[in-house]
């Protein structure tokens, strides 16, 4: 698997420490987003902050080797290598995305048979190697919209909403993990843990930058990385799929910045003012997109659905 090197290093260096932003970063993103939930959303959410915070690292808890099927099934949900799909218009459905990747892979196989040199290997284009980050995010978002809709219907009918409230909080927290991952540029790139390919700027090729930046450094300096002041009240997103892709692509533009900061010692000890500011803004970007999606899901759940035609 693509992330074996990262997994081995993390296990060796950080024992039970999680992936992503580590427990500290993921919890902070969910906690700050929870603090921006507006009063116009259901009142039970005002008391859900602790649960939402706890759920931030939840998908990383599913990555232990003991539960092989679980780990394998959701490993690609945490990343997407945007360089591999730069020539594609990403479709909103994961299975159409699979078909496009397999078509591209088949074309590459034919090119290689014809003697065309290419550093890209056909298996690099398998869905599990490219990553599925935006798809899981939008699928969990969809679950949240459905749960909010059920809440509205039960509330209008005067029925008990406790069970669906629990679902809503779980989906909100679960979504927070992937939104948080996407705020980290190293979850959007083939350069996820050491520079590969041409390297004129002499960036690190060692396999430490990923965990060093997002887990070790964030965990050690969280008190200096407070970012709630950077997160505003939520805004409705008109097209969640396109907005999420734009969010991922912006994060991807910052990949080289991560390597520049690492090269100047930005993730060692207390780092530098530049590295701390950079990570404050990436954590804030995650929290802002998250609360925007929560708010949008609530509003979308109130939109009347077209009547289902009778057969």
Q: How far apart are CA 303 and CA 221, in angstroms?
A: 43
Domain enclosing residue 117, as ranges: 91-128
User: How confident is the model at residue 11, as a pLDDT?
Assistant: 40
Among 100, 128, 156, identify where a domain stops: 128
Task: Give residue for tokens 């530049």.
Answer: 274
Q: How far apart are CA 50 and CA 234, in angstroms?
A: 20
Q: How far apart are CA 57 and CA 31, in angstroms?
A: 12
267 and 287 assigned to the same domain: yes
User: How confident is the model at residue 119, as a pLDDT?
Assistant: 77
Q: How far apart are CA 147 and CA 201, in angstroms?
A: 49
Q: Is residue 8 situated within a structural domain?
A: yes
Q: How far apart are CA 23 and CA 32, in angstroms?
A: 14
Q: How far apart are CA 211 and CA 60, in angstroms?
A: 13
User: How confident is the model at residue 308, as a pLDDT?
Assistant: 55
215 and 235 assigned to the same domain: yes
Q: How far apart are CA 257 and CA 295, in angstroms?
A: 31
Cβ proximity of 214 and 21 under 8 Å: yes
51 and 109 assigned to the same domain: no
User: How confident is the model at residue 19, as a pLDDT?
Assistant: 55
190 and 287 assigned to the same domain: yes
Which tens digits make up the pLDDT trace of 199-218?
A: 999 999 999 999 999 999 99
Query: How many structural domains is the chain composed of?
Result: 2
Dihedral, CA of residue 55, residue 92, residue 106 and residue 119, to nearest 10: -60
Average pLDDT of adjacent 10-residue blocks, the chain of 311 residues: 42 41 94 98 98 97 94 96 97 98 95 74 96 98 98 98 98 98 98 96 97 95 97 98 98 98 97 98 98 98 72 52
User: How confident is the model at residue 4, as a pLDDT?
Assistant: 43
């Amino acid at each position: 698997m693509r992330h074996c090197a990262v997994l081995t290093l993390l296990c060796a260096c950080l024992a039970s420490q999680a992936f992503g932003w580590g427990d500290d970063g993921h919890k902070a993103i969910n906690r700050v987003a929870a603090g921006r939930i507006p009063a116009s959303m259901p009142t039970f959410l005002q008391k859900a902050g602790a649960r939402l915070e706890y759920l931030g690292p939840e998908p990383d808890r599913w990555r232990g080797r003991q539960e092989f099927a679980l780990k394998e099934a959701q490993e690609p949900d945490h990343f997407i290598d945007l360089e591999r799909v730069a020539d594609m218009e990403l479709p909103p459905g994961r299975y159409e995305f699979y078909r496009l990747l397999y078509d591209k892979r088949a074309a590459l196989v034919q090119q290689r048979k014809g003697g065309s040199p290419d550093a890209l290997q056909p298996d690099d284009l398998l869905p599990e190697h490219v990553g599925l980050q935006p798809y899981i995010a939008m699928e969990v978002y969809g679950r949240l919209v459905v749960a909010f809709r059920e809440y509205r219907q039960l509330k209008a009918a005067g029925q008990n909403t406790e069970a669906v409230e629990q679902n809503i909080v779980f989906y909100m927290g679960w979504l927070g993990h992937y939104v948080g991952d996407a705020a980290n540029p190293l979850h959007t790139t083939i350069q996820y843990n050491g520079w590969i390919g041409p390297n004129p700027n002499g960036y690190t090729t060692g396999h430490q930058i990923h965990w060093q930046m997002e887990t070790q450094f964030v965990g050690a300096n969280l008190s200096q990385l407070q970012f709630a002041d950077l997160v505003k009240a939520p805004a409705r997103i008109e097209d969640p799929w396109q907005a999420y892709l734009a969010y991922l692509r912006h994060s991807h533009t910052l990949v080289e910045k991560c390597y520049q900061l690492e090269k100047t010692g930005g993730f060692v000890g207390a780092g530098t003012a530049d590295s701390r500011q950079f990570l404050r803004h990436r954590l804030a970007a995650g929290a802002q997109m998250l609360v925007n999606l929560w708010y949008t899901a609530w509003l979308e759940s109130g939109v009347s659905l077209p009547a289902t035609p009778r057969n």
